[in-house]
C-alpha cells in the first residue's frame, strides 16, 4: 500500500504560465522523491504599466512517501 503526501508550491516565470509550471515541477523533482502528479490550483499575472511582467502558478504536487 502506498501513502502519498500533497504539498503546495508556487513558481514564477517572466515567459509564460507553461514555463512557470515546468520550472516548478523541475524544482519539485530535484527536491522531492517519487513525484506523481500536480494540480494547477491558481494562475495570476503581475503587471507593470499595463503589461504582463511575470506569470505565477500555485500548484499542488503529490508524491509517494518512502516505505
**Which domains are assigned to the chain?**
4-64 (3.30.1660.10)
Q: What pLDDT is stored for residue 16 in this prediction? A: 98
At 67, is the pLDDT very low, low, confident or very high (cuts 50, 70, 90)? confident
Mean pLDDT (the chain, rounded): 96
Query: Measuring CA to CA, how many Å separate 64 from each of 6, 29, 34, 37, 67?
Result: 9, 12, 5, 10, 9
Q: Distance between CA atoms of 1 and 42, rounded to whole angstroms?
A: 31
Amino acid at each position: 500500500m502506498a501513502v502519498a503526501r500533497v504539498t503546495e508550491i508556487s513558481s514564477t516565470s517572466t515567459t509564460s504560465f507553461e514555463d512557470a509550471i515546468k520550472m516548478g515541477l523541475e524544482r519539485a523533482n530535484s527536491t522531492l522523491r517519487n513525484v506523481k502528479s500536480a494540480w494547477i490550483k491558481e494562475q495570476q499575472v503581475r503587471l507593470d504599466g499595463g503589461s504582463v511582467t511575470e506569470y505565477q502558478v500555485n500548484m499542488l504536487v503529490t508524491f509517494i512517501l518512502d516505505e
